[in-house]
Amino acid sequence: MDIATILGFVLGAFFIIFAIANGGPLGWFIDFNSMLIVVGGTLCATMISYPLDKFINSFKTVKHVFQVKQLEPTEIIKRIIGLANIARKEGLLALEEAGAQIDDTFLQKGVLLIVDGTDPELVRNILETELAFIEGRHKESQGIFETMGTLGPAFGMIGTLIGLIQMLQQLDDPSSIGPAMGVALITTFYGTLIANFICSPIAGKLKMRSAEEILLKEVMIEGLLSIQAGENPRIIEEKLKAFLSPKIRSGLEKKEDAEGVGVEA
Amino acid sequence: MDIATILGFVLGAFFIIFAIANGGPLGWFIDFNSMLIVVGGTLCATMISYPLDKFINSFKTVKHVFQVKQLEPTEIIKRIIGLANIARKEGLLALEEAGAQIDDTFLQKGVLLIVDGTDPELVRNILETELAFIEGRHKESQGIFETMGTLGPAFGMIGTLIGLIQMLQQLDDPSSIGPAMGVALITTFYGTLIANFICSPIAGKLKMRSAEEILLKEVMIEGLLSIQAGENPRIIEEKLKAFLSPKIRSGLEKKEDAEGVGVEA
Amino acid sequence: MDIATILGFVLGAFFIIFAIANGGPLGWFIDFNSMLIVVGGTLCATMISYPLDKFINSFKTVKHVFQVKQLEPTEIIKRIIGLANIARKEGLLALEEAGAQIDDTFLQKGVLLIVDGTDPELVRNILETELAFIEGRHKESQGIFETMGTLGPAFGMIGTLIGLIQMLQQLDDPSSIGPAMGVALITTFYGTLIANFICSPIAGKLKMRSAEEILLKEVMIEGLLSIQAGENPRIIEEKLKAFLSPKIRSGLEKKEDAEGVGVEA
Amino acid sequence: MDIATILGFVLGAFFIIFAIANGGPLGWFIDFNSMLIVVGGTLCATMISYPLDKFINSFKTVKHVFQVKQLEPTEIIKRIIGLANIARKEGLLALEEAGAQIDDTFLQKGVLLIVDGTDPELVRNILETELAFIEGRHKESQGIFETMGTLGPAFGMIGTLIGLIQMLQQLDDPSSIGPAMGVALITTFYGTLIANFICSPIAGKLKMRSAEEILLKEVMIEGLLSIQAGENPRIIEEKLKAFLSPKIRSGLEKKEDAEGVGVEA
Amino acid sequence: MDIATILGFVLGAFFIIFAIANGGPLGWFIDFNSMLIVVGGTLCATMISYPLDKFINSFKTVKHVFQVKQLEPTEIIKRIIGLANIARKEGLLALEEAGAQIDDTFLQKGVLLIVDGTDPELVRNILETELAFIEGRHKESQGIFETMGTLGPAFGMIGTLIGLIQMLQQLDDPSSIGPAMGVALITTFYGTLIANFICSPIAGKLKMRSAEEILLKEVMIEGLLSIQAGENPRIIEEKLKAFLSPKIRSGLEKKEDAEGVGVEA
């Protein structure tokens, strides 16, 4: 679970609801018509902007905003060095069995390509294209939430304009002007809230998660190609650690020292 | 038919009209003068910004927003491999007949260039220039809709200012102030709606469609050059599949397995 | 004459004036003081931003917004191939006479450099620097109109603030409030109109014209260097046609077929 | 201490408080509910956008806004040349002792890598990756303050909308309208102040500090690699001084002249 | 003197003051408190964003907005060719005396480096780093004025919010509402004016001046390296003229013709 996301949503919602409740009934801020215009309008305009499958897919990615990554980079490096040791001692074909137990599909696919004896250039080509598509898909999900973050306030304004125009056409009853204008402003309130409390922050966290995953996959590609080239596991380790932030790297070194012999599968 | 576009437009229009109808007669939101300023002004200012043929052409591209692409990438790859098999078995000249039956003009043109014995460098040059021009045309169409999306709210504001200035010059009759101001706001309503419900989403979908088409054409160029170089159809297939998203690629592989022998023309 | 520019300005002005006239006398929208602040202020601030000669020069470029380019790319290619034929048959020195009759100064300059026996690298260097300066000048003119498009609404707002502050200081006479506020809004109206109906569209069209001219000059440079290298006119033609949009190219090919023999000077 | 930061915060706060105090009691501008929405909302939305550790870390970097850098570039160059002299006279291994006394961890790490006999390519790789991570961390801290600078006014607007909607729902008591609207505007006041007086300026200064530190580290990398390559200390000095601004460089040269012999450890 | 800057400031100020004076006493637009918030606040927030020396330095660069460059590019080229002739006839060491008389410190420094027999690669390195620092300093000065142009309207809005909140808290005396709101708007007026009439235009002109100076210095570097390489003065002239705009270049050629023999020191 991503503590920051949970804390941000729960505390933020509490602050806003507390501030609203302090000044009057919450019911003043709930209006079905206004939701229809802002939420419905924003979703529809986003649906026009993107293909249906990408639109639907983006909502599935929201779960990444609440989860932290399962695979630690140090874990990945250890696994790759384990594979390198196997390949060194028993040959590339021995990787088939080890590959079958890997739970990361990207790494597994790379191992299978190596076992199949695929040309190194083609291995890099296939894995990097796959990485480019993963990155593209991530960018699209972020883009959809950014688009909704832009459209939200716009449909909020459209709703407010509708309310204002209707109010101005029936000024006969002065006592209804205030509440009518209040209702008109609710759509702008919804739109601003959706954009700044939901869509933009989600797009931001998705971007962070994407950067982490891409880095991991780059470590995998580099490691796989080094295994295929038959490089020394020690040197592979040095190469891969250069991808890590100095903090994580020193953590890795300490652990190794503690474990005594280093990494052996 | 692009379901997302249709759904987006129909549902979105329904939401907005429903919300309007809930608060008063729809007639309050229809004003000929306001349309003239916002729609007319936006179109005229866009016409000054772009050459006439590009302006007119951009409206023709709107149909792509409602259609999904006819050619699947898997289909294209199969066709190219079919051509590669013909070229391998019967020689490059045998492609002339096969080329005549291709319905995609870009692919057909490439085949004809190969049959003519054009220098490979020139083939790539011509096809890539053609692709650059196609991309440029796509960008221009998107740009025209983005320009209209910026100008719409601006002319909406111009209309509202006209209405406000006129209203403020004749404050004698207080009962007319409300409706006059309501009418003044209609142009801003039109401008915001045109920008956020029509122009920006259309520009967004056009961008998506363009990316798909460019990718397809890049696959074609790579395939054609490989055919001309006399490469093995199996290797061509591997190379082209690297352009596909992993999802489509695995779909392709499954189909191949089901069909048994793979792709042969 | 550029039909789109004329149509855009005439129709757009008609729409705006028609909408204004429908709601009251046009005189309400004419105010000398407001023009002074918005037009004068915008021009003065732009003058501070740019050197005087570039500021004045930008207004001269407005004529390009109303004209279509005189030289067709097909025409230029024919001329270059004509020159290539002369150079092939009679030698580079024979180009001197032909060069004297060229009306495009850029092409003429290039021919003279070749006749002078200038080193090919220096020819490319000089012509590309010249092209870079032309492009820079175009960018500056667009930039000046974009700057005015940003400053216009800003000075409109400054004028409206002046009017509002003055109105709020003398609220004694309620009957004058409306008209005073109306006049205050006129500067914002002017500023928005200048930006969105005049400056931004002019900057847009200038950008389009610039792209066309740069492409033409790139064709010329490529052609001149090929002539100097003594390449075959047929191959030069193929090379230059790759710069054209496929539409123009196929038009060129059809014409050639109709003319029978192709291009000979 | 960074005089500009202190002066800016103290004087700016004085100006704003002075201007407020001139027009009425300061108490009018303090509202707990408004703080909750703006400060709380902004922090929560930022927490959703970023991982928790980076969010917390960014607040630790604020101290750099108040400090000036401790290491002068001239000091660093002297130290590197001192190391170069040791390496020249006593060999690379003699650096171990000198390295232990360096207080800059980046420089120390580089020296240890050299003493360990690490391959020069790997030394550069490790140090540059470390530098890239440092730069990435700096960018993230700036990004977090920029995000808060964008979210501040947005939550200010959300607060004002809440206040306005509540006020418009209870217009019965005209005497409370003014103060209620005043309170509603306080959130916008907070949001604008937080963005323009605190967050954006902090992000700006962090960017400046980052550029200074990155430059220093680049000097170190270049120097360390030159030492490892066994280059002449004089030439190393010339190379490193090219990284300095001309002003600092001439200051360095003057000092050297005054010190007579130049730099020797 | 830069005529455009003077004219822009004088005429612009006249237009604004004239428009203000037409509608009421100028005194309505002068308010000490408002100046404190807008000018003081903007300067303080900018001081937080930048180091103190860069902040102060940026105000010194304002003089460049009023001056035109002293060194014409044609003048510089003549001088370099003069130096090239001396170097050719009397050797590089003879440049020492000529170098001492040069009033441009950048050119002088380059000549001294050559006389000292510095390695050509190091000469280029040192001069280009110096140029990069000059460019960086220019960018920083522009950036400081752009920052002030963004902060000005923000502090204007902060001042207006302060005024509005205070006014809304004391609505008892209706006759004071108007003037109080008028005073509140003065800060927005100041902020908009400072941004659009002073800061942005100054940043714009500084950018133009910077581009001119950078171009001149690039000509110098190219010239100095050619002198060091012992190239023929005629060829150096051709090379350097390629940096000039065609207009200036043809002016240079005409002058040469008039002077008869060309350039000799």
Residues of D with CB under 8 A from a CB of A: 33-34, 36-37, 40-41, 44-52, 54-55, 122, 125-126, 129-130, 133, 147, 151, 154-155, 157-159, 161-171
More confident residue, B165 or B250: B165
Closest in C51, C122, C167 to E238, CB measured: C122
Over 80: is that where the pLDDT of E244 sits? no
Closest in D2, D16, D185 to E41, CB measured: D16
Report pLDDT for D186. Answer: 96
Report pLDDT for C250. Answer: 67
Contact list in A for residue D163 (CB cut-off 8 A) is 23
Pair (D258, D134) in one structural domain: yes
Report pLDDT for E104. Answer: 85
Average pLDDT in chain D: 87
The rounded distance, in Å, linking the Cα atoms of E107 and B8 is 65
Q: What is the pLDDT of residues C92-116, one digit of tens each?
A: 888 888 888 888 888 988 998 888 8
The rounded distance, in Å, linking the Cα atoms of E26 and B41 is 38
Report pLDDT for D13. Answer: 95
| Token representation of residue D113 | 């890598």
Report pLDDT for D255. Answer: 59
Over 50: is that where the pLDDT of A51 sits? yes
Domain that holds residue C4: 1-30
Pair (A147, A22) in one structural domain: no
Q: How distant is the Cα of D99 from the closest Cα of chain A, in angstroms?
A: 19
Report pLDDT for A210. Answer: 92
| Token representation of residue E117 | 């027999």
Report pLDDT for E265. Answer: 37
Question: What mean pLDDT comes out for the span D225-235?
Answer: 88
* CA A119 remoteness from chain centre: 33
Over 50: is that where the pLDDT of D261 sits? no
- Which of B42-46, E126-130, E169-173 is most confident? B42-46
Burial of A110 (0-12, 13-18, 19+ CB in 10 A): buried
H/E run at residue D135: helix D120-169
Over 50: is that where the pLDDT of E47 sits? yes
Residues with Cβ within 8 Å of residue A37, at least 6 apart in sequence: A155, A158, A159, A162, A187, B15, B16, B19
**Interchain touch B–D (≥3 Cβ pairs closer than 8 Å):** no
Q: What is the DSSP letter of A26?
A: G
Comparing CA positions, the residue from D108, D106, D104, D76 lying closest to residue D95 is D108
% of chain D residues with pLDDT over 90: 47
Question: What mean pLDDT comes out for the span D95-120?
Answer: 86
Contact list in E for residue D8 (CB cut-off 8 A) is 44-48
% of chain D residues with pLDDT over 70: 91
Task: Return the SS3 of E237.
Answer: helix
Q: Which long-range contacts (CB under 8 A, 24 or more apart) does C50-53 make?
A: C50/C140, C50/C144, C50/C147, C50/E4, C50/E204, C50/E205, C50/E208, C51/E2, C51/E4, C51/E68, C51/E205, C51/E208, C52/E2, C52/E3, C52/E4, C52/E7
Find out whether D73 and D219 touch, Cβ atoms under 8 Å.
yes
Pair (B129, B89) in one structural domain: yes
Report pLDDT for C264. Answer: 39
Q: State the chains in contact with E (3 or more Cβ–Cβ pairs under 8 Å).
A: C, D
Over 70: is that where the pLDDT of D117 sits? yes
Closest in D34, D40, D162 to A189, CB measured: D162
Q: What is the DSSP letter of E61?
A: T
Count of beta carbons in the 10 Å neighbourhood of residue D104:
17
Burial of E183 (0-12, 13-18, 19+ CB in 10 A): buried
Residues with Cβ within 8 Å of residue D152, at least 6 apart in sequence: D38, D42, D190, D191, D192, D194, D195, D199
Contact B48 C9 (CB under 8 A): yes
Over 80: is that where the pLDDT of B263 sits? no
Contact list in C for residue B157 (CB cut-off 8 A) is 192
Least confident of A152-166, A223-237, D186-200: A223-237
Sign of the C-alpha dihedral, residues D101, D102, D103, D105?
negative
Q: How distant is the Cα of C133 from the closest Cα of chain E, in angstroms?
A: 6
Q: What is the pLDDT of residues D144-163, one digit of tens each?
A: 999 999 999 999 999 999 99
The rounded distance, in Å, linking the Cα atoms of D2 and D71 is 14
Sign of the C-alpha dihedral, residues C23, C25, C29, C33?
negative
* CA E130 remoteness from chain centre: 17
Under the banding of pLDDT at 50, 70 and 90, the label for residue E197 is very high
Report pLDDT for C257. Answer: 58
Average pLDDT in chain B: 87
Q: What is the DSSP letter of E132?
A: H
Q: What is the DSSP letter of D195?
A: I
Pair (C81, C184) in one structural domain: yes
Contact list in E for residue C125 (CB cut-off 8 A) is 239, 242
| Token representation of residue C120 | 């090919």
DSSP string, C145-179: HHHHHHHHHHHHHHHHHHHHHHHHHTTT-HHHHHH
Over 50: is that where the pLDDT of B262 sits? no
Question: What mean pLDDT comes out for the span A53-79?
Answer: 86
The rounded distance, in Å, linking the Cα atoms of E142 and E61 is 9
Q: State the chains in contact with D (3 or more Cβ–Cβ pairs under 8 Å).
A: A, E
Under the banding of pLDDT at 50, 70 and 90, the label for residue E259 is low
% of chain A residues with pLDDT over 70: 91
Q: Which long-range contacts (CB under 8 A, 24 or more apart) does A84-91 make?
A: A84/A223, A84/A226, A84/A227, A84/A231, A84/A233, A84/A236, A85/A233, A85/A263, A85/A264, A85/A265, A86/A265, A87/A227, A87/A230, A88/A230, A88/A232, A88/A233
Contact E168 D185 (CB under 8 A): yes
Contact B41 C15 (CB under 8 A): yes
| Token representation of residue B227 | 């055919």
Report pLDDT for D262. Answer: 40
The rounded distance, in Å, linking the Cα atoms of C215 and C72 is 11
Report pLDDT for D250. Answer: 67
Pair (C254, C221) in one structural domain: yes
Sign of the C-alpha dihedral, residues E29, E30, E35, E37?
negative
Least confident of B69-78, E24-33, E103-112: B69-78
Q: What is the pLDDT of residues D17-36, one digit of tens each?
A: 999 998 889 999 999 999 99
Question: What mean pLDDT comes out for the span A104-119?
Answer: 87
Report pLDDT for C255. Answer: 60
Question: How many residues are listed for chain A in this entry?
Answer: 265
Pair (B25, B45) in one structural domain: no
Pair (B124, B89) in one structural domain: yes
Comparing CA positions, the residue from A170, A189, C196, B239 lying closest to residue D163 is A189
More confident residue, E182 or C262: E182
Q: What is the pLDDT of residues B166-212, one digit of tens each?
A: 999 887 777 778 888 888 999 999 999 999 999 999 999 999 999 88
Closest in A36, A129, A155 to B18, CB measured: A36
Pair (E1, E126) in one structural domain: no
Helix axes D200-228, D73-90, angle to 10 degrees: 20
Report pLDDT for A265. Answer: 37
The rounded distance, in Å, linking the Cα atoms of D193 and D208 is 22
Comparing CA positions, the residue from D224, D227, D229, D233 lying closest to residue D256 is D233
Report pLDDT for B9. Answer: 96
Q: How distant is the Cα of B9 from the closest Cα of chain A, in angstroms?
A: 7
Cα distances (angstroms) measured from residue B175 to each of A172, B181, C36 = 8, 11, 35
More confident residue, E69 or B253: E69
Q: What is the pLDDT of residues C123-180, one digit of tens each?
A: 888 888 889 888 988 999 999 999 999 999 999 999 999 999 999 988 777 777 888 8
Question: What mean pLDDT comes out for the span A139-154?
Answer: 96
Over 80: is that where the pLDDT of E246 sits? no
Question: Taking CA atoms, what residue in C is nearest to E239?
Answer: C122
Output Rg (C-alpha) for chain D, integer angstroms.
26
Pair (A263, A204) in one structural domain: yes
Least confident of B237-251, E83-97, E102-116, E247-261: E247-261
Contact list in B for residue C5 (CB cut-off 8 A) is 47-48
Comparing CA positions, the residue from C227, C211, C197 lying closest to residue C79 is C227
Pair (D22, D36) in one structural domain: no
Under the banding of pLDDT at 50, 70 and 90, the label for residue C262 is very low
Contact B12 A50 (CB under 8 A): no
Q: What is the DSSP letter of B98?
A: H
- Interface probe with E: pick from D2, D20, D65, most Cβ of E within 10 Å: D20
DSSP string, E156-211: HHHHHHHHHHHHHHTTT-GGGHHHHHHHHHHHHHHHHHIIIIIIHHHHHHHHHHHH
Contact B9 A155 (CB under 8 A): no
Pair (E130, E234) in one structural domain: yes
Task: Return the SS3 of D24.
Answer: coil
- Interface probe with A: pick from B38, B177, B193, most Cβ of A within 10 Å: B193
- Interface probe with A: pick from D32, D49, D157, most Cβ of A within 10 Å: D49
The rounded distance, in Å, linking the Cα atoms of D183 and C67 is 58
Q: What is the pLDDT of residues B22-36, one digit of tens each?
A: 888 999 999 999 999
Pair (D141, D163) in one structural domain: yes
Over 60: is that where the pLDDT of C259 sits? no
Over 90: is that where the pLDDT of C37 sits? yes
Report pLDDT for E42. Answer: 96
How many folded domains does chain A comprise?
2
Helix axes D52-60, A3-23, angle to 10 degrees: 80
Find out whether A57 and A137 touch, Cβ atoms under 8 Å.
yes
Residues with Cβ within 8 Å of residue D261, at least 6 apart in sequence: none
Contact D4 E50 (CB under 8 A): yes
**Interchain touch E–D (≥3 Cβ pairs closer than 8 Å):** yes
CA angle D11, D12, D16 (to 5 degrees): 115
Taking one residue from D and the other from E, the number of pairs with CB-CB distance under 8 angstroms is 137
Over 50: is that where the pLDDT of A260 sits? no
Report pLDDT for B261. Answer: 42
Over 80: is that where the pLDDT of C243 sits? no
Which residue's entry shows tokens 């037009």?
C39
Comparing CA positions, the residue from D134, D133, D109 lying closest to residue D122 is D109
Please name the residue ranges forming H helices in chain B: 3-23, 32-35, 41-49, 52-60, 63-66, 73-90, 95-100, 105-115, 120-169, 174-193, 200-228, 233-241, 246-259
Find out whether C29 and C183 touch, Cβ atoms under 8 Å.
no
Question: Taking CA atoms, what residue in B is nearest to C6?
Answer: B48
Contact list in D for residue E151 (CB cut-off 8 A) is 196, 200
Over 50: is that where the pLDDT of B264 sits? no
Least confident of A241-255, B181-195, C37-51: A241-255
Q: How many CA atoms are closer than 13 Å to the CA of E190, on its beta-carbon side?
A: 30
Q: How distant is the Cα of C170 from the closest Cα of chain B, in angstroms?
A: 17
Find out whether C36 and C186 touch, Cβ atoms under 8 Å.
no
DSSP string, B141-189: HHHHHHHHHHHHHHHHHHHHHHHHHHHHHTTT-HHHHHHHHHHHHHHHH
Least confident of A34-43, C72-81, C198-207: C72-81
More confident residue, E259 or C80: C80
Contact A165 B178 (CB under 8 A): no
Report pLDDT for C198. Answer: 96
Q: State the chains in contact with B (3 or more Cβ–Cβ pairs under 8 Å).
A: A, C
Report pLDDT for B142. Answer: 95
Please name the residue ranges forming H helices in C95-119: 95-100, 105-115
Task: Give me the numbers of helices (H) and strands (E) for chain E, helices first please.
Answer: 13, 0
Closest in C52, C162, C167 to E3, CB measured: C52
